[in-house]
Structure 1
Amino acid sequence: MLKKKTKTRDNVRAILTIITLFALWLLMSGIYKPLVVWLGFFSSVFAVYVMRRMDQAADAETMTIRLKPFQMVKYLLWLLVEIAKSNWAVTKTILSPAMPINQHMFDVPFTQSTDLGQTIFANSITLTPGTITVEVNENSFLVHALQYSDDDPVAIGDMDARVTKTEAVK
Structure 2
Amino acid sequence: MKRVLTRHVLQRGEARLSSVLLLLLVLAISWLLWSGLYKPLVIGLGAFSCLLSVYLAHRMGFFRHHDALLRLLPRLPGYWLWLLKEIIISSIDVAKLILKPSLPISPTVVVLQSEAKTDVGQVILGNSITLSPGTVTLDVHEGKILIHCLTVESARELQKGEANRRAAALERK
- What TM-score bracket applies, with the shorter chain setting the length? 0.5 to 0.7
Q: Is there any run of 5+ residues in structure 1 with no aligned partner, and where? A: 1-5, 11-16, 27-39
Whether the 8 Å CA contact 2:115–2:165 is kept in 1: the answer is yes
Match of 2:87 among 71, 83, 88: 83
Map of 1:151 onto structure 2: 156
The Cα shift of 1:49 comes to 4.8
For the pair 1:119 / 2:123, whether they are aligned, the reply is yes
Matched residue SS, 2:138:
strand
Map of 1:25 onto structure 2: 39
Whether the 8 Å CA contact 2:126–2:145 is kept in 1: the answer is yes
**Alignment: residue pair count:** 135
- The separation in 2 between residues aligned to 1:49 and 1:86, in whole angstroms, is 36
- The separation in 2 between residues aligned to 1:113 and 1:45, in whole angstroms, is 39
Structure 2 counterparts to residues 39-78 of structure 1, below 5 A: 40=41, 44-45=43-44, 47-49=46-48, 51-52=50-51, 54-55=53-54, 58=57, 61=61, 62=63, 63-64=65-66, 65=69, 66-67=71-72, 69=74, 71-78=75-82
More helix by percentage: 2
Relative to structure 1, is the Cα distance of residues 109 and 56 closer, same or farther in structure 2, using a 3 angstrom cutoff? closer
Report the RMSD for the aligned CA atoms in angstroms: 3.0
- The separation in 1 between residues aligned to 2:139 and 2:120, in whole angstroms, is 16
Compare CA radii of gyration and give the structure with the larger one.
1
TM-score (norm 2): 0.65
- The separation in 1 between residues aligned to 2:49 and 2:73, in whole angstroms, is 31
Matched residue SS, 1:151:
helix
Q: Is there any run of 5+ residues in structure 2 with no aligned partner, and where? A: 1-16, 22-27
TM-score (norm 1): 0.66
Relative to structure 1, is the Cα distance of residues 97 and 162 closer, same or farther in structure 2, using a 3 angstrom cutoff? same
The Cα shift of 1:154 comes to 3.4
